[in-house]
Amino acid sequence: MFQVTLKDGVIKSFDAPVTVLDIAKSISEGLARNACCGLVDGNVQDLRFVVDKDATVSICTFDDADGKKAFRHTASHIMAQAIKRLFPETKLAIGPSIDDGFYYDFDRETPFTEEELAQIEAEMKKIAKEDLALERFTLPRAEAIAFMKEKEEPYKVELIEDLPEDAEISFYRQGEFTDLCAGPHLMSTKAVKAVKLMSVAGAYWRGSEKNKMLSRIYGTAYPKAADLDAYLEMLEEAKKRDHRKLGKELQLFALMDEGPGFPFFLPKGMVLKNTLLEYWREIHKKAGYVEISTPIILSRQLWENSGHWDHYKDNMYTTVIDDADFAVKPMNCPGGMLVYKLQPHSYRDLPLRAAEIGLVHRHEKSGALHGLMRVRCFNQDDAHIFMTPDQIRSEIKGVVNLIDSVYSLFGFKYHVELSTRPEDSMGSDEDWEIATNGLRGALEDMGMDYVVNEGDGAFYGPKIDFHLEDSLGRTWQCGTIQLDMQMPERFELEYTDKDGQKKRPVMIHRVCFGSIERFIGILIEHFAGQFPTWLSPVQVKVLTISEKSDDYAKKVAEELDAQGIRVETDLRAEKIGYKIREARNERVPYIIVVGEKDQEAGKISLRSRQGEEGQMDLNDFIGRIKAEIAERK
């Protein structure tokens, strides 16, 4: 007999080995019907996985991230099966699940057309109706290679040949179709009813430009048609909110062929950016930070000392100055180390919170560039906090509260992930344990829910990542807190402790917005360009009904400007309806219309985002909008 501990702490006893699916059935038939995979002692396992000893087991449905992956991975196999039925000469490459869907890479002489995607989708739905069981089996490496050669699948052969000699190779069979795969998968094709193939793109085999270009088909899948419809509606709304489209329409920024990945900010974009930075400086001053600025180009020796030259060089831009190697900074951290070393420090000086809006450059492949979301240069709102070990938890809590206040202001929900030590890392096991426990302890002290992201920490320390959710339900990774005991060691940072001994400070790297540019892109899409009044590049637009009111409109605009309100006028000889529509398209929060009657009464006619508000006194409006801006509503 052995015991299985479930997610809610309930313990079940079994006399004989059971599968994960059997465990789900023992809980409820409904759960078993919806099960996609399981977590056994923290490891993702197939529903077919046999449990024969004491273990902790969680059943994952489509509502869980791992369940979604298993569901959509099965969908990718169904797509591959459909393509082999319709276009049997096609060769299979790889087909993983990804965020919001799946893809599969195929080798075919001619790219797939939109009409063919519709055919494939129809065949996928047919396969789902066939209710084909997915059966897992394994083969020794040599037999697996022979099996794939017999099926004339050269890409699968290459993948197997890269595996160790003693590896046991797993396959999944569904009907006449078999694919090389580690799983996990659903028990049957039946559940994958709601599918949509989204697009076709080119993709090099194994991501290398030296290899053949394959056809990559992207798709998504849901258990229910209603959920798929809601997702597709969200995508349509996202297209309308695309920050690249709105950024151009609202004249915020430009992306040019002369600088791929290097955005140009236009006057209105600079107002938005600088307003964000004013807010950033205000909250950091209140939180006890000092602001610094470090150079963009620094010597190779510095980057070798920091570890970036060994761990990050492929993403760095380098140059030669006076016959010596230099690099454009991809991160602000090493410059912050040098600032700390400029003078001796006592424990009384700590914690020292040094913040920097630093322009960094990172080489991204051209195919990865995406508006402001993925660029090659950006401003990062870094801060480095130097502290004693006993200050770790309190400082992390302070940063968490700061980040929470920012996201709450913009109406973002968020979730937190704790990322642990990666394979390519620096430092001792002891340092990593202290650092990881420091982050974990702070989160637990605050009662915050978090997910552990094993092996995804920075090479110098574990981190807490904040994934914010926008108005469309999409998530973005922005804020991060990284605890680092390695750089203080590498740069020989010191402070004098109470006992007079020299000791190493512990350091936190943290960002709040993350990349300022990316955060602006997220805000554009989150608000669909309709920024809160305090953030809007133009807060009020004054429109005239006729040229007779031009002087009065200018006077109104001057009074608003004198009160620090960002205002523009539209004095063109156009119909007022046309001018109002244009102002609305520019997402201006308030539109003031003035005509002869307003001028005679010494008042204004106001339109807000809520609609027409009628005639009012200008001073009343000024008091209202100033309060709105001051409170950052």
Q: Model's pTM, two decimal places? A: 0.82
For position 120, what pLDDT does the model report? 97
d(CA 151, CA 139): 15
Measured at the CA of 404, the angle between CA 449 and CA 534, to 5 degrees, comes to 150
pLDDT tens digits for range 137-185: 999 999 999 999 999 999 999 999 999 888 889 999 999 999 999 989 9
User: Is 382 considered catalytic here?
Assistant: yes
Asked if the model's pLDDT at residue 8 lies above 80, the reply is: yes
Number of residues written out for the chain: 633
For position 236, what pLDDT does the model report? 92
User: Is 615 considered catalytic here?
Assistant: no
Q: Is residue 84 part of a domain?
A: yes
Q: Is residue 440 part of a domain?
A: yes
**Phi and psi, residue 154, nearest 5°:** -60, -30
User: Is 509 considered catalytic here?
Assistant: yes
Catalytic-role residue among 308, 329, 509, 566 = 509
**Strand-pair category, 604-608 with 590-594:** antiparallel
Catalytic-role residue among 46, 66, 382, 598 = 382
- Domain span at 547: 540-630
- What's the chain's average pLDDT? 93
Average pLDDT over residues 535-545: 97
Banded model confidence at residue 435, pLDDT cuts 50, 70, 90 = confident
Catalytic-role residue among 81, 380, 482, 539 = 380
Asked if the model's pLDDT at residue 426 lies above 80, the reply is: no
Find the DSSP H helices in 250-332.
Answer: 267-286, 300-306, 308-311
User: Is 333 considered catalytic here?
Assistant: yes
Q: Is residue 8 part of a domain?
A: yes
Q: Is residue 563 part of a domain?
A: yes
Q: Is residue 96 part of a domain?
A: yes
* Per-residue exposure over 139-166, b if at least 16 CB sit within 10 Å of its own CB, e if not: bebeebbebbeebebebbbebbeeeeee
Average pLDDT over residues 268-279: 97
For position 407, what pLDDT does the model report? 92
Catalytic-role residue among 36, 37, 60, 333 = 333
Looking at the fold, whether 345 and 480 belong to one and the same domain comes out as yes
Q: Is residue 238 part of a domain?
A: no
The answer to whether the beta carbons of residues 198 and 89 sit under 8 Å apart is no
Looking at the fold, whether 518 and 550 belong to one and the same domain comes out as no
Report the CATH number that the domain containing residue 599 is assigned in CATH.
Answer: 3.40.50.800
Catalytic-role residue among 68, 216, 384, 421 = 384
d(CA 554, CA 543): 10
Looking at the fold, whether 54 and 197 belong to one and the same domain comes out as no
More confident of the two residues 123 and 453 = 123
Looking at the fold, whether 563 and 602 belong to one and the same domain comes out as yes
End-to-end CA distance of the chain, in Å? Answer: 61
Domain boundary among 17, 44, 61: 61
pLDDT tens digits for range 285-329: 999 999 999 999 999 999 998 888 888 888 999 999 999 999 999
For position 423, what pLDDT does the model report? 83
Looking at the fold, whether 173 and 263 belong to one and the same domain comes out as no
Catalytic-role residue among 243, 393, 463, 579 = 463
Looking at the fold, whether 503 and 612 belong to one and the same domain comes out as no
Which DSSP state fits 188?
B
Percentage of the residues of the chain whose pLDDT score is greater than 90: 82
For position 111, what pLDDT does the model report? 87
d(CA 384, CA 533): 32
Q: Is residue 534 part of a domain?
A: no
Asked if the model's pLDDT at residue 98 lies above 90, the reply is: yes
User: Is 362 considered catalytic here?
Assistant: yes
Looking at the fold, whether 40 and 98 belong to one and the same domain comes out as no
Catalytic-role residue among 72, 156, 353, 362 = 362
Q: Show Cβ contacts of residue 284 under 8 Å, excluding neighbours closer than 6 positions.
A: 291, 355, 383, 402
Looking at the fold, whether 47 and 146 belong to one and the same domain comes out as no
d(CA 538, CA 422): 46
Sign of CA dihedral 416, 422, 427, 429: positive
Average pLDDT over residues 445-461: 86
Q: Is residue 239 part of a domain?
A: no
Looking at the fold, whether 77 and 53 belong to one and the same domain comes out as no
- Domains held by the chain: number: 4
CB atoms within 10 A of CB 219: 23
Question: Residue 588 in 3-state DSSP?
Answer: coil
Looking at the fold, whether 380 and 266 belong to one and the same domain comes out as yes
* DSSP string over 404-444: HHHHHHTT-EEEEEEE---SS--S-HHHHHHHHHHHHHHHH
Average pLDDT over residues 349-366: 94
Banded model confidence at residue 618, pLDDT cuts 50, 70, 90 = very high
Report the CATH number that the domain containing residue 151 is assigned in CATH.
Answer: 3.30.980.10
Looking at the fold, whether 504 and 563 belong to one and the same domain comes out as no
Domain boundary among 18, 35, 61: 61
pLDDT tens digits for range 75-87: 999 999 999 999 9
Banded model confidence at residue 194, pLDDT cuts 50, 70, 90 = very high
Looking at the fold, whether 561 and 546 belong to one and the same domain comes out as yes
